[in-house]
């Protein structure tokens, strides 16, 4: 049962070593679960190469149906974390470079990178034709978000001024912009006005 506890620990991504407790510590060096003990140690240290090596040397682990069914997910998590660490210093890298470093296929690398981009853990674009990935810098992303926020603020201000701009009303309560008709005097009231005054009242600010 201890080997299943170890596997569950890795599936949950826990940093707690299952052999740190008083109940399980005596079994840490039990040869029957030695491979699983080494595996969880490599997993918690993010040591992908040691993890892969242990799996290669202990293929009998996969004879257990439960382990065989779930170990692939653990391996995938390990490789995903390894990719994140490998590409951290780069603004551009080749998929083949990652594949060589992790000793896995290029399609699997592309799949992992695609997942990281979709999950927003990696900000970049895959060029399938060139087999490269371009990473967007954090500074560029911050500038882009700042410009987006600024544009949104300007639009909101413009909407407020045009639609709700109380500060632009004249002394008579009519808007001085956005409602030109406020300057027009109804024709019924213009009839009895002197001609000069009628011309003045009929003018609408340009």
Last residue of a domain, one of 59, 85, 111: 85
Quote the CA–CA distance of 157 and 153 in Å, as a whole number.
6
**Helix (H, G, I), strand (E, B), or coil: what is residue 183?**
helix
Q: How many domains does the chain have?
A: 2
Question: Is 3 inside a domain boundary?
Answer: yes
Structural domain contains residue 203: yes
The answer to whether residue 18 sits within a structural domain is: yes
Q: In this structure, is residue 202 part of a structural domain?
A: yes
How far from each other are the two terminal CA atoms of the chain, in whole angstroms?
Answer: 86
From 51, 85, 119, give the residue that closes a domain. 85
pLDDT digits (tens, 9 = 90+) for 45-98: 999 999 999 999 998 888 888 888 899 999 999 999 999 999 999 999 999 999
Residue 153 lies in a domain: no
Is 163 inside a domain boundary? Answer: no
157 is a domain residue: no
Give 46-78 as a 3 state SS string. Answer: CCHHHHHHHHHHCHHHHHCHHHHHHHHHHHHHH
In a domain, 158, yes or no: no
Q: Which domain holds residue 18?
A: 1-85
Cα–Cα dist 172/182, whole Å: 10
The pTM (predicted TM-score) of the whole model is 0.60
Q: Note the pLDDT tens digit of each residue in 4-46.
A: 878 888 888 777 777 677 777 666 767 777 888 888 889 989 9
Distance separating alpha carbons of residues 203 and 5, to the nearest angstrom: 87
Per-residue model confidence as pLDDT tens digits over 137-193:
655 445 545 666 667 777 777 676 677 655 445 555 444 444 444 444 454 454 555
**Domain closes at, from 85, 108, 126:** 85
């Amino acid at each position: 049962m201890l080997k299943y506890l170890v596997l569950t620990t890795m599936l949950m991504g826990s940093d707690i070593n299952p052999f740190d407790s008083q109940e399980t510590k005596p079994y840490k060096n039990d040869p029957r679960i030695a491979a699983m003990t080494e595996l969880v140690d490599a997993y918690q240290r993010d040591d992908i190469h040691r993890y892969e090596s242990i799996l290669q040397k202990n293929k009998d682990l996969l004879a257990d149906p439960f382990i065989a069914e779930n170990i692939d997910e653990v391996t995938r998590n390990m490789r995903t974390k390894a990719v994140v660490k490998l590409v951290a210093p780069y603004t551009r890298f080749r998929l083949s470079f990652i594949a060589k470093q992790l000793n896995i296929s290029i399609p699997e690398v592309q799949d992992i990178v695609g997942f990281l981009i979709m999950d927003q853990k990696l900000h970049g674009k895959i060029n399938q034709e060139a087999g490269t990935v371009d990473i967007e810098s954090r500074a560029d992303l911050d500038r882009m978000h700042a410009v987006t926020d600024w544009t949104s603020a300007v639009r909101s201000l413009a909407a407020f001024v045009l639609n709700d701009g109380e500060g632009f009303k004249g002394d008579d309560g009519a808007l001085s912009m956005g409602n030109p008709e406020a300057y027009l005097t109804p024709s019924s009231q213009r009839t009895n006005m002197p001609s000069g005054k009628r011309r003045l009242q009929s003018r609408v600010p340009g």
